């Protein structure tokens, strides 16, 4: 049997991003935490942590963390049937796309988390990195736009989100009064989430433009909206996020007839216990378009 | 004289997070981009890029990127006086705290960016990492709560933001109907931004509680607000972000009389050209409380 105190030390060091903070969280000295990590590495015959360029688990460490999380979830189910075993609930670590978190996610699962006493550890990632984290065992579930299956995980379609290229009416008048022309796209600053963001390119391809364009980089859903509302650019935004802004006349779509449809999929490890199964059921009721 | 084509290749590989995308952006083949990086490494006698665990500059590469950005900003000033030199404007890479980006930032600098044709490359970091990125030359400026000076950089105070611990009225009634007791803090789930987030601890210390507490981890300003509004927890939020929610009765402060005041400082490299000086002047007019 594994010594779960050692795994707990590893999980806490990663979660707290430091030995000293992990010690505080566990009520241990920093050196006691180090000793537990060392004991784990001796037991395993290889390192579980990398210190540089920043604190992170090795691939072996990740597999241990994944296992630890699964055991915690199973214990959670057990405690449901043996209430006297009560203990602080484990945090469920999941990767989400930023736009879901900024819109429908909390409203959909809030009541469920309250009634289950479930705590979340949310990581914001685009789909490629999110699925990689799931494969590495760093998260127990991943919500993203990719249907690509992961061995050992289930993939449930949740519907889709509609995206519109939005900007202020002033901005649209300034750059696009002649329509969605190549000349306009070459001059009008866009807002792009990050280097992996393909929404902007997909929208431009859809309207027949394939050239270069100026853009701001802004890795935040809320920041995206704020930059657009300040007249700094246009960007692809979830309709459910911008609709109230459009109703008030603060933002408008450049292409009201041509939204992009982005599907959403929920990937999660099988055999991680009932709480993930029940959460999946709640998500299925989200009724995205 | 350095060959700036090589530096441009390095900057583009980092910005696009890949050789193939960098080639697309520069109108070059992937192998031509690789050759430029190799030529730079031969010239320098050491690597400029690390491939694992993900694509990133070495410390030497970072210094080159910082220099490249400074030269771009100086060229920008030059083009202001020699308009025939016109070229796509460089993106100004800056680190911001998530709460500023979710609130006052875009409204304050939007008009300035429009009139200057300035594009931003925004990185969201807490203060420790943001200042480290500035020191490493990865960003040209950093907005954060630390006044800690960086050699070679200027530090300008911008005022402060007020934070309140907020939750839904239902949530407050459920957990805090007996006031801010130790028992309540042990049971009431909090929402914490990440392992480096000290706001929650500072609030608890301010009201005399020093024990453990359950919490969700959510590294997004907007997500924070959504989780709280869905009744999942209470968290420290900028008053300027939650005020409309409080007015509508959707959220309320747990401690209306005891806000935390977080100062904000703008750090930027001296001698990076006039655009940063002018941007700094605009930020000085933000009139945060």
Closest by alpha carbon to A214, among A249, A189, A243, A245?
A189
What is the share, in percent, of chain B residues with pLDDT greater than 90?
A: 49
Residues from chain B that touch A17, judged by Cβ atoms under 8 A, are: 194-196
Nearest by CB to A119, from B113, B189, B231: name it: B189
CATH of B161-262, one of 3.30.450.40, 3.40.190.10, 2.40.50.140, 3.40.50.2000: 3.40.190.10
pLDDT, residue B266, reads 95
Q: Best mutation site among A17, A19, A28, A120 for testing chain B: the one with the most B CBs within 10 Å?
A: A120
Query: What sign results for the dihedral spanned by CA atoms A95, A97, A102, A103?
Result: negative
Domain A161-261 classification at class level: alpha beta
Query: Is the pLDDT assigned to residue B87 strictly greater than 60?
Result: no
User: From CA B53, how far away is CA B70, in angstroms rounded?
Assistant: 28
List the structure tokens of A59.
Answer: 């691939």
Of residues B250 and B258, which shows the higher confidence score?
Answer: B250
pLDDT tens digits along B95-125: 999 999 999 999 999 999 988 888 999 999 8
CA B172-B175-B177 angle, to 5 degrees, is 70
Q: Does A102 touch chain B (CB under 8 A)?
A: yes
Highest CATH level, class, for B1-84: mainly alpha
Torsion of CA B153, B158, B162, B168, to 10 degrees: -80
Å between B102 CA and nearest CA of chain A: 5
Which residues in chain A are closer than 8 Å to B226, comparing Cβ atoms?
A: 101-103, 105-107
pLDDT of residue A43: 80
Q: What percent of chain A has pLDDT over 70?
A: 94
**pLDDT at res. B88:** 52
pLDDT at A170: 95
Lowest mean pLDDT among A206-215, B68-77, B231-240, B277-286: B68-77
Indicate yes or no: CB of B101 within 8 angstroms of CB of A226: yes
The pLDDT of residue A192 is 92
Please report the pLDDT score of residue B64 as a whole number. Answer: 82
Residues of B in Cβ contact (< 8 Å) with A196: 17
Say if residue B16's pLDDT is above 90.
no
Percent of chain B predicted with pLDDT > 70? 94
Categorize the per-residue pLDDT at A89 as very low, low, confident or very high, splitting at 50, 70 and 90.
Answer: low
Provide φ and ψ at A142, rounded to 5°: -145, 130
| Beta carbons of A39 and A6 less than 8 angstroms apart | yes
Whether residue B53 has a cis bond before it, omega within 30° of 0: yes
Quick check: ipTM above 0.85?
no
* Dihedral over alpha carbons A59, A61, A67, A69 (to 10 degrees): -110
Kindly report the average pLDDT of chain B as a whole number: 87
| Amino acid A164: pLDDT | 96
pLDDT bin (cut points 50, 70, 90) of residue A82 is: low
Q: What is the mean pLDDT of chain A?
A: 87
Best to test chain B binding among A100, A112, A122, A188 (most B CBs inside 10 Å): A122
Per DSSP, chain B holds a count of helices (H) and strands (E) of 13, 11
The structure tokens listed for A266 are 């929920």
Kindly tell me if the per-residue pLDDT of A271 is higher than 80: no
pLDDT tens digits along B26-48: 878 888 899 999 988 888 888 89
A45 touches chain B (CB under 8 A): no
Cβ contact, residue pair A229, B98, below 8 Å: no
What's the pLDDT band for A288 if we cut at 50, 70, 90?
confident
- A24 CB neighbours in chain B (<8 A) are none
* Band (A197; pLDDT cuts 50, 70, 90): confident
CB A49 within 8 A of CB A57: yes
Residue of B16, B113, B214 with shortest CB distance to A88: B214
Of A121-125, B15-19, B78-82, the poorest mean pLDDT is in: B78-82
Q: Give yes or no for residue B233 having a pLDDT over 90.
A: yes
Residue of B121, B45, B287 whose CA lies nearest to A189: B121
Closest Cβ–Cβ partner in B91, B110, B226 for A105: B226
User: In chain A, where are the structural domains located?
Assistant: 161-261
Q: B79: buried, middle or exposed (CB in 10 Å: 19+, 13-18, 0-12)?
A: middle
Residues of A in contact with B121 (CB under 8 A): 216-217
Q: What is the DSSP letter of A234?
A: B
The whole-angstrom distance between B17's CA and the closest CA on chain A is: 6
Query: Nearest CA of chain A to the CA of B216: how many Å?
Result: 5
* Rounded distance between C-alpha atoms, residue B26 and residue A62, angstroms: 37
| pLDDT tops 80 at residue A233 | yes
Helix/strand/coil for B255:
coil
Q: Residue B142: is its pLDDT beyond 90?
A: yes
Nearest to B98 among A119, A216, A220 (CB): A220
Q: What is the pLDDT of residues B150-200, one digit of tens each?
A: 888 999 999 999 999 999 999 999 999 999 999 999 999 999 988 777 889
- 8 A C-beta contact, residue B13 and residue B33: yes
CB A66 within 8 A of CB A137: yes
Confidence band of A108 (pLDDT split at 50, 70, 90): very high
Identify the pLDDT of residue A80: 66
CB-based contact B279:B140 (threshold 8 Å)? no
pLDDT at A242: 95
* Predicted local distance difference test score (pLDDT) of residue B79: 65
With tokens 């990440």, the residue in question is B194
Q: Which of B122, B196, B215 shows the shortest C-beta gap to A219?
A: B122
Please tell me the least confidently modeled range out of A65-79, A170-184, B37-51: A65-79
Give the pair of three-digit tokens for residue B111: 């008009």
From B19, which residue of chain A is nearest by alpha-carbon distance? A195
Smallest CA-to-CA distance from B137 within B68, B200, B88 is with B68
- Measured in angstroms, the CA of A225 and the nearest CA of chain B are apart by 9
């Amino acid at each position: 049997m594994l010594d779960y105190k050692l795994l707990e030390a590893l999980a806490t060091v990663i979660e707290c991003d430091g030995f000293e903070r992990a010690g505080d969280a566990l009520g241990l000295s920093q050196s006691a935490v180090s000793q537990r990590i060392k004991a784990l590495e001796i037991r395993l015959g290889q390192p579980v942590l990398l210190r540089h360029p920043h604190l992170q688990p090795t691939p072996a460490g990740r597999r241990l963390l994944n296992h630890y999380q699964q055991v915690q979830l199973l214990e959670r189910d057990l405690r449901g049937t043996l209430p006297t075993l009560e203990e602080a609930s484990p945090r469920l670590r999941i990767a989400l796309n930023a736009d879901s978190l900024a819109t429908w996610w909390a409203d959909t699962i809030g009541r469920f988390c309250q009634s289950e006493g479930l705590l979340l550890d949310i990581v914001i990632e685009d789909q490629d990195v999110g699925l990689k984290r799931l494969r590495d065992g760093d998260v127990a579930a991943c919500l993203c736009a990719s249907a690509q299956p992961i061995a050992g995980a289930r993939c449930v379609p949740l519907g889709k989100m509609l995206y519109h290229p939005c900007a202020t009416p002033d901005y649209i008048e300034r750059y696009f009064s002649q329509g969605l022309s190549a000349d306009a796209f070459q001059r009008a600053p866009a807002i792009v989430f990050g280097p992996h963001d393909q929404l902007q390119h997909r929208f431009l391809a859809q309207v027949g433009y394939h050239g270069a364009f100026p853009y701001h980089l802004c890795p935040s859903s809320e920041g995206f909206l704020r930059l657009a509302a300040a007249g700094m650019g246009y960007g692809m935004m979830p309709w459910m996020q911008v609709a109230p802004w459009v109703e008030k006349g603060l933002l408008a779509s450049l292409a009201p007839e041509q939204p992009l449809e982005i599907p959403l999929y929920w990937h999660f490890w099988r055999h991680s216990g009932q709480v993930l199964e029940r959460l999946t059921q709640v998500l299925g009721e989200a009724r995205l378009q």
